[in-house]
Amino acid sequence: MESFSDTVLTAVERLQEISHMFQHGVMDEIRTVGCIRIYHSTTHEIEKFLPNGRSEPSVIVNLPDNESDCSRSKFDRYSAAGTSYLVTCRCERSIFRNGFAMPTFSGVIPPVVSPMIAPDQLDGPAVYRIVEHLVSGGVSGLFVLGTTGEGPSLTYQMRYEMVEQTCEAAAGRMSVLVGVTDTSLAESIALAGHAGSCQAAAIVAAAPFYFDVPQSALVHWFEALATASPIPVMLYNMPSCVGVVLESSTVDALSCHPNIVGIKDSGGDMDYFEDLSRRHRDRDDFVIFMGPEERLAEAVALGAAGGVCGGANLLPGVYTSLYKAARREDAAEIAQWKDVIRRVFEGVYFDDEGNMKLIPGLKSAMSELGLCSAVVAPPLSVVSRLHASRIRAVLPQLLETANS
């Protein structure tokens, strides 16, 4: 049976290998290696195995709860005698897992629609068309099984298939994030495991819905998910759908977990978003994404890493251009792209009675481009004939503007 010390030494050997790799140019993004820590879940003892020198990292063994800077780390999991060990590597620019760079999240990551042949049947070929459309549009990643992807409305078989086919279609060209929101922690953990086996980069989880529980219960739920997940976790604040806000203090607490790497905020409260940005602005290990696409530019100005923009399914270039303009603080170009997005809302998302029909409207527009059908999963319903006719009428002008 492998001892705890043997596990630590194995980890040290791996970290020395990493050090050798970047010193010889294999990992040329790394400038310096900081502190290597191993958290053992059953001991409070702190042990040092290597001197803290310039060329060799130090290794510390302790509990995450006792490590005030645990939020500055990402982890690898080592197993010995049935115990999990979290091995962390601090670097100036990149974090590594098993010798490979951890994914960094920024830019426009669209919440990919789930194309369907029928409400209970995924359209596999359409998944590939949509992924190619998004890749060619310059997005930075793909988020499947989110709200726009109708994740909670899909059968579990469809969810697993959507993860498999998206990761296969992406073929390592960009990060895939997977929504695992569920009322069952066990189901969320199972889907996280499947996402990891498909080489997804991270999972995204909103609070469990149905039962009214205190924030402390949510902390325990997310910590359990993050500890069990083989890949990093991004929190998802979505009060309009799950009925609870992830309070700033809750986010602060969860951000200290070594496997929680950021949050997507779709609450629509700019005061809340600004507070989040202020609290985490100087961190390189916890990113903040804006959900509402119309507020992307304002979010970037506040320090957001990017946006999860539903409209990018239809017009990816518009949203990536807006993000880049916001990064440059180009007010004129920001205004130009925001006007296009305003027209998307008016012509595609809202029906003729002024009701928001974002997902059905988006899928209707995408069906006009031959990307997928307009089929949605219950309880949603397809757009009316009048709404569909209006989408067909406005789409050519939107495409012309987007491509100009």
Distance, in Å, from the CA atom of 79 to the CA atom of 247, rounded to the nearest integer, reads: 34
Residues 373, 123 contacting (CB under 8 angstroms): yes
Distance, in Å, from the CA atom of 305 to the CA atom of 103, rounded to the nearest integer, reads: 13
Q: In what order do the strands lie in the sheet with 175-179?
A: 107-108, 306-307, 287-290, 260-265, 233-237, 202-206, 175-179, 141-144
| Among 236, 319, 323, 349, the one annotated catalytic | 236
- Pull the structure tokens for residue 280: 């985490």
The dihedral sign for the CA sequence 56, 61, 63, 67: negative
- Other C-beta atoms within 10 Å of 243: how many? 12
Annotation says 85 is catalytic: no
Annotation says 319 is catalytic: no
Residues 404, 380 contacting (CB under 8 angstroms): no
Residues 59, 15 contacting (CB under 8 angstroms): yes
| Among 264, 338, 357, 363, the one annotated catalytic | 264
Under 8 Å CB-to-CB from 282, ≥6 apart: which residues? none
CA-based R_g, the chain, Å:
22
Work out whether strand 306-307 and strand 287-290 pair parallel, antiparallel, or are unpaired: parallel
> So which residues are the catalytic ones?
236, 264
